[in-house]
Amino acid sequence: MIRIAILDDEKADLEKEEQITRQYFYNRQAESEIATYQSVEWFLLGLTEEQFDIYILDAEMPVKNGIEVAKEIRKLYPEPVIIYVTNHLNYAVEAYEVNTYRYIAKDTMEKGLNAAYETLLPILLAKEERYYIVKKRSELEKIAYSDIFYVKKEGKCAVIVHRNGETSVRDSLSAVEKALGSREFIVADRGYLANIRHVMKMKSRELYMRNGNIITVGRERFKHVRKAILDYWKPANKKSIVK
């Protein structure tokens, strides 16, 4: 299912954006879920609780403008698509600093949104979230890869640090790495397995993670970790230039 959030303080525009979006995905027989918000405050209150595939934002709104809202989204979620539908074209340059996919004028919203969805649909349908399943005697837990910041070793256990807290599994760090089986996760040191998608900065031998924590990289791992991060970031950089 493709999940779309639409934020616009103008009720008429919000309803039109919803109608265009609902009609497009209905015509393509693609299952979708659409949430609409007229209040920036309500939108931000629910931001940490659920993630959408696409965010449709107005650029000029009370309390926080659309650029500030996008920055809040990017603090939590690097993957979703952000599209602006607005009358305020003066924000266009700033919009691309938060990796905006499209910047559409409101008087061309139907044509612009349909064109954007037509390009995005096959990409979104092909995308499939992966999950790490934690099995305990009386408990099962499913943790999305995209929610995992890093995994750390604590005694005989591995602790998964994720968006909703921490989950301990009685397994070795190497066993968890093997089970994850993704190039996104890289051994930073003997006791840490970092998710590259949540590395915001690498300075000297320190990884600054999206959740505010810092992981130290082992000396012998430094070059390997740095190269892995650069290789992972390169495709995203190319996409930004094209847009």
Instruction: Tell whether the model's pLDDT for residue 25 goes beyond 50.
Output: yes
Q: Can you give the pTM of this predicted structure?
A: 0.60
69 and 161: one domain?
Answer: no
Cβ contact 192:158 at 8 Å: no
74 and 34: one domain?
Answer: yes
Residue after which a domain boundary falls, among 98, 126, 154: 126
DSSP string, 28-96: TT--EEEEEES-HHHHHHTTTT---SEEEE-SS-SSS-HHHHHHHHHHH-SSSEEEEEES-GGGHHHHG
Task: With cut-offs at 50, 70 and 90, classify the pLDDT of residue 239.
Answer: very low
163 and 222: one domain?
Answer: yes
163 and 228: one domain?
Answer: yes
Q: Could you tell me the CA-to-CA distances from 236 to 88, 175, 231 in Å, in that order?
A: 27, 29, 10
∠ Cα 135 136 138 (to 5°): 125
CATH of the domain at 228: 2.40.50.1020
139 and 74: one domain?
Answer: no
139 and 227: one domain?
Answer: yes
pLDDT single digits (tens) 52-98: 999 999 988 887 888 899 999 998 888 899 999 988 777 666 777 78
Which structural domain, as residue segments, surrounds residue 201? 131-242
* 29 burial level (CB within 10 Å; 0-12, 13-18, 19+): exposed
Q: Tell me how far apart the alpha carbons of residues 213 and 157 are, in angstroms, rounded to a whole number.
A: 20
Name the token pair of 212: 């505010």
73 and 184: one domain?
Answer: no
109 and 148: one domain?
Answer: no
71 and 8: one domain?
Answer: yes
CATH of the domain at 109: 3.40.50.2300
- Spatial neighbors of 116 by CB under 8 A, at least 6 apart, are 83, 101, 102, 104
208 and 236: one domain?
Answer: yes
The number of distinct structural domains making up the chain is: 2
85 and 8: one domain?
Answer: yes
Report how far apart the first and last C-alpha atoms of the chain are (Å, whole number): 25
Q: Which helix (H) or strand (E) holds 166?
A: strand 165-169
pLDDT single digits (tens) 199-229: 999 999 999 998 999 999 999 999 999 999 9
Residue after which a domain boundary falls, among 93, 126, 159: 126
pLDDT single digits (tens) 137-179: 888 999 989 889 999 999 999 999 998 899 999 999 999 999 9
Q: Which residue has the tokens 């837990």?
A: 141
CA 153 to chain CA mean position, Å: 26
Residue after which a domain boundary falls, among 60, 95, 126: 126
140 and 108: one domain?
Answer: no
Q: Tell me how far apart the alpha carbons of residues 9 and 99 are, in angstroms, rounded to a whole number.
A: 22
